[in-house]
Amino acid sequence: MKYFYLCVLSVLLIGCSKDKESSNSLYASNDLEIQAYLEANNISATKTGTGLYYFMSKAGNGIKPNTNSAVRVAYKGYFTSGKVFDQSSSSGISFSLNQVIPGWTEGLTYFKEGGEGKLFIPSNLGYGDYGYGSIPGGSVLIFDIKLIEVKD
Protein backbone atom coordinates (compact mmCIF):
# COMPACT_ATOMS: atom_id res chain seq x y z
CA MET A 1 0.00 0.00 0.00
CA LYS A 2 2.88 2.35 0.82
CA TYR A 3 4.28 1.82 -2.70
CA PHE A 4 0.89 2.57 -4.25
CA TYR A 5 0.76 6.00 -2.58
CA LEU A 6 4.36 6.67 -3.55
CA CYS A 7 3.56 5.89 -7.21
CA VAL A 8 0.46 8.10 -7.17
CA LEU A 9 2.41 10.94 -5.59
CA SER A 10 5.19 10.58 -8.18
CA VAL A 11 2.71 10.72 -11.07
CA LEU A 12 1.06 13.82 -9.60
CA LEU A 13 4.38 15.60 -9.09
CA ILE A 14 5.54 14.82 -12.63
CA GLY A 15 2.22 16.05 -14.04
CA CYS A 16 2.41 19.30 -12.07
CA SER A 17 6.01 19.80 -13.15
CA LYS A 18 5.06 19.42 -16.83
CA ASP A 19 2.16 21.87 -16.40
CA LYS A 20 4.54 24.43 -14.89
CA GLU A 21 7.08 23.87 -17.69
CA SER A 22 4.30 24.27 -20.25
CA SER A 23 3.09 27.49 -18.58
CA ASN A 24 6.63 28.90 -18.42
CA SER A 25 7.16 28.03 -22.08
CA LEU A 26 3.88 29.72 -23.07
CA TYR A 27 4.75 32.79 -20.99
CA ALA A 28 8.15 33.06 -22.72
CA SER A 29 6.53 32.54 -26.14
CA ASN A 30 3.89 35.23 -25.42
CA ASP A 31 6.59 37.66 -24.31
CA LEU A 32 8.59 37.10 -27.51
CA GLU A 33 5.43 37.55 -29.59
CA ILE A 34 4.67 40.87 -27.86
CA GLN A 35 8.26 42.08 -28.24
CA ALA A 36 8.25 41.20 -31.96
CA TYR A 37 4.95 43.06 -32.45
CA LEU A 38 6.26 46.12 -30.63
CA GLU A 39 9.44 46.15 -32.70
CA ALA A 40 7.65 45.61 -36.01
CA ASN A 41 5.23 48.44 -35.22
CA ASN A 42 7.83 50.78 -33.68
CA ILE A 43 5.98 50.98 -30.35
CA SER A 44 7.88 51.78 -27.16
CA ALA A 45 5.81 50.14 -24.44
CA THR A 46 6.46 49.71 -20.73
CA LYS A 47 6.64 46.18 -19.32
CA THR A 48 5.32 45.56 -15.83
CA GLY A 49 6.42 42.90 -13.35
CA THR A 50 3.52 40.66 -14.37
CA GLY A 51 4.47 40.63 -18.06
CA LEU A 52 1.83 43.12 -19.17
CA TYR A 53 2.97 45.83 -21.59
CA TYR A 54 1.26 49.19 -21.94
CA PHE A 55 1.71 52.22 -24.16
CA MET A 56 0.10 55.63 -23.64
CA SER A 57 -0.50 57.65 -26.78
CA LYS A 58 -2.40 60.39 -24.93
CA ALA A 59 -2.03 61.21 -21.26
CA GLY A 60 -5.30 61.79 -19.49
CA ASN A 61 -5.89 64.60 -17.03
CA GLY A 62 -8.44 62.97 -14.76
CA ILE A 63 -8.12 60.51 -11.91
CA LYS A 64 -6.57 57.06 -12.12
CA PRO A 65 -8.81 54.09 -11.38
CA ASN A 66 -7.93 51.50 -8.76
CA THR A 67 -8.48 47.76 -9.17
CA ASN A 68 -12.04 48.06 -7.79
CA SER A 69 -13.13 51.15 -9.74
CA ALA A 70 -16.07 51.28 -12.09
CA VAL A 71 -15.00 52.72 -15.45
CA ARG A 72 -16.30 53.48 -18.94
CA VAL A 73 -13.92 52.49 -21.73
CA ALA A 74 -14.01 52.53 -25.52
CA TYR A 75 -11.85 49.75 -26.92
CA LYS A 76 -10.89 47.50 -29.80
CA GLY A 77 -9.42 44.07 -29.08
CA TYR A 78 -7.31 42.19 -31.61
CA PHE A 79 -4.56 39.62 -31.98
CA THR A 80 -0.98 40.30 -33.07
CA SER A 81 -2.12 39.22 -36.56
CA GLY A 82 -4.42 42.26 -36.62
CA LYS A 83 -7.62 40.19 -36.56
CA VAL A 84 -10.23 42.00 -34.45
CA PHE A 85 -12.15 39.84 -31.96
CA ASP A 86 -14.15 42.50 -30.08
CA GLN A 87 -14.91 46.21 -30.19
CA SER A 88 -17.08 48.63 -28.25
CA SER A 89 -18.94 51.62 -29.62
CA SER A 90 -17.17 54.98 -29.47
CA SER A 91 -19.23 55.86 -26.38
CA GLY A 92 -17.67 52.85 -24.62
CA ILE A 93 -18.99 50.35 -22.11
CA SER A 94 -19.10 50.48 -18.32
CA PHE A 95 -17.81 47.79 -15.98
CA SER A 96 -15.95 47.27 -12.72
CA LEU A 97 -12.24 46.53 -13.00
CA ASN A 98 -12.58 43.64 -10.54
CA GLN A 99 -14.87 41.83 -13.02
CA VAL A 100 -12.62 41.62 -16.07
CA ILE A 101 -9.47 39.76 -17.12
CA PRO A 102 -6.40 40.49 -14.97
CA GLY A 103 -4.66 42.32 -17.84
CA TRP A 104 -7.47 44.90 -17.93
CA THR A 105 -7.63 45.18 -14.14
CA GLU A 106 -3.93 45.94 -13.93
CA GLY A 107 -3.51 47.80 -17.22
CA LEU A 108 -6.21 50.40 -16.78
CA THR A 109 -4.75 51.47 -13.42
CA TYR A 110 -1.80 52.99 -15.34
CA PHE A 111 -4.13 55.37 -17.25
CA LYS A 112 -5.83 58.55 -16.13
CA GLU A 113 -9.36 59.47 -17.12
CA GLY A 114 -9.19 60.80 -20.69
CA GLY A 115 -6.07 58.76 -21.44
CA GLU A 116 -5.62 56.66 -24.55
CA GLY A 117 -3.22 53.88 -25.43
CA LYS A 118 -2.68 50.19 -25.85
CA LEU A 119 -2.51 47.14 -23.61
CA PHE A 120 -0.47 44.10 -24.69
CA ILE A 121 -1.74 41.23 -22.61
CA PRO A 122 -0.02 37.83 -22.37
CA SER A 123 -2.34 34.84 -22.12
CA ASN A 124 -1.73 34.33 -18.39
CA LEU A 125 -3.34 37.76 -17.82
CA GLY A 126 -6.02 37.15 -20.46
CA TYR A 127 -7.98 33.95 -21.01
CA GLY A 128 -5.14 31.54 -20.20
CA ASP A 129 -4.66 28.18 -21.85
CA TYR A 130 -8.37 27.61 -22.43
CA GLY A 131 -9.47 30.68 -24.34
CA TYR A 132 -12.94 32.18 -24.46
CA GLY A 133 -15.42 32.27 -27.35
CA SER A 134 -13.51 33.18 -30.51
CA ILE A 135 -10.28 33.73 -28.54
CA PRO A 136 -8.05 30.63 -28.67
CA GLY A 137 -6.16 29.51 -25.57
CA GLY A 138 -2.66 30.89 -25.23
CA SER A 139 -3.45 34.05 -27.21
CA VAL A 140 -1.71 37.38 -26.78
CA LEU A 141 -4.37 40.11 -26.72
CA ILE A 142 -3.94 43.72 -27.80
CA PHE A 143 -6.42 46.42 -26.84
CA ASP A 144 -6.62 49.98 -28.11
CA ILE A 145 -8.27 51.77 -25.21
CA LYS A 146 -9.69 55.14 -24.30
CA LEU A 147 -10.48 55.58 -20.61
CA ILE A 148 -13.55 57.81 -20.88
CA GLU A 149 -14.68 57.90 -17.26
CA VAL A 150 -13.72 56.70 -13.80
CA LYS A 151 -16.85 56.39 -11.67
CA ASP A 152 -15.29 55.97 -8.22
Instruction: CATH number of the domain at 84, please.
Output: 3.10.50.40
C-alpha distances (whole Å) from 16 to each of 11, 21, 40, 126 are 9, 9, 36, 21
Sort residue 131 into left (φ over 0), alpha (ψ -120 to 50) or beta: left
Question: Is 16 part of a structural domain of the chain?
Answer: no
Look at residue 1 in the predicted model and tell me its pLDDT. Answer: 46
What is the model's pLDDT at position 23? 65
Q: Which domain holds residue 144?
A: 26-150
CA dist 102 and 67 (Å) reads 10
**Of 70, 54, 66, 44, which is closest to residue 103 (Cα–Cα)?**
54
Q: Where does the pLDDT of residue 11 fall: very low under 50, low under 70, confident under 90, or very high at 90 and above?
A: very low
In a domain, 125, yes or no: yes
Distance, CA of 63 to CA of 71 (rounded, Å): 11
47: in domain: yes
Q: What is the pLDDT of residue 24?
A: 74
133 is a domain residue? yes
Write the pLDDT tens digit of every residue in 50-82.
999 999 999 999 999 999 999 999 999 999 999
**DSSP β-ladder status, 116-121 and 84-87:** unpaired
Q: Write the CA distances from 68 to 9, 77, 145, integer angstroms.
A: 40, 22, 18
- Position 25 scores a pLDDT of 84
Total domains in the fold of the chain: 1
- List pLDDT tens digits, range 90-142: 999 999 999 999 999 999 999 999 999 999 999 999 999 998 999 999 999 99
Number of residues that make up the chain: 152
Under the banding of pLDDT at 50, 70 and 90, the label for residue 13 is very low
More confident residue, 1 or 147: 147
